[in-house]
Structure 1
Amino acid sequence: MPHFIIDCSQSILTHHDEDTINEQIHHTANASDLFAEHEIKVRVNPYNRYLVGNKQHEFIHVFGYIMEGRTTEQKAELSKAIVTKLTQMFPHIDNITMNVSDFEKATYCNKSQL
């Protein structure tokens, strides 16, 4: 926890590889001071087939899943920081977005809780 899942067009990987993207998003999330660094998980899901506005425009969308308890302002700043980093890395891409969703503590379970 947290998870940052990056859906994107495959073609963006010609500009930066998955490892670089993962590292940059990890560093940006860690710099927010909202999470323990060893708990941050980042992964990239590239797509060859997709439509944006009924056309094949390049895109990046980050799904952030975090444990509940952060303020709306903290989540907004996290989204802004990650979209800013991606915009710096991919200035030619118009469709860069992110949303943050909360895990509910009452229903969350991981292996260490068993």
Structure 2
Amino acid sequence: MPHFVIDCSKDILEIQDPKSVTLQVHNDANDSGLFEENDIKVRLNPFMDNYLVGGKETSFIHVFANIMEGRTTHQKAKLSKQIVAGLKTMFPNIPFIAINIRDFEAATYCNKSMI
């Protein structure tokens, strides 16, 4: 916990290598001070075909952040802005860069070490 899943158009990987993109999101999440570094997980899903942005096959990056409940709205908003700002620096010409944050419910979360 937390999980950051990056969906993006295929051309993103022609501008920056996947490792650089995942590392950028990892570092921004870590720099937020909200998480232990060893707990941060980042994955990247490039879409080769079959995507539309505004009805066109337009370049995009969207980060889905899934974090344990308990952070304030202010903390989550700051994290969102920090991650989008980092990606905007890497991709100044990409027209659509966004993030949304979803809270995991602690009562229903389970992982291997909890069994």
Which blocks of at least 5 consecutive residues in structure 2 are unaligned?
A: none
Aligned to 2:72: 71
SS at match of 2:23: helix
SS at match of 1:109: coil
CA RMSD of aligned residues (A): 0.5
Aligned to 1:52: 53
Aligned to 1:29: 29
Aligned to 1:109: 110
| Distance (Å, rounded) in 2 between the aligned partners of 1:98 and 1:60 | 8
Aligned to 2:62: 61
Calculate percent identity across the aligned residue pairs: 59
How far does the alpha carbon of each residue in 1:13-40 deviate from its partner, in whole angstroms, 9 at most, with x for none? 0111111111111111000000000000
Which blocks of at least 5 consecutive residues in structure 1 are unaligned?
A: none
| Distance (Å, rounded) in 1 between the aligned partners of 2:12 and 2:45 | 11
Equivalent residue pairs, number: 114
| Distance (Å, rounded) in 2 between the aligned partners of 1:7 and 1:96 | 10
TM superposition shift of 1:48: 1.3
Residue 4 of structure 1 pairs with residue 4 of structure 2: yes
| Distance (Å, rounded) in 2 between the aligned partners of 1:44 and 1:79 | 17
SS at match of 1:8: strand
SS at match of 2:11: helix
TM-score (norm: length of structure 2): 0.98
Runs of 4+ in 1 over 6 A off after TM superposition: none
TM-score (norm: length of structure 1): 0.99
| Distance (Å, rounded) in 2 between the aligned partners of 1:48 and 1:87 | 21
TM superposition shift of 1:6: 0.2
SS at match of 1:112: helix
Matched to 2:98, the amino acid is T
Aligned to 2:16: 16
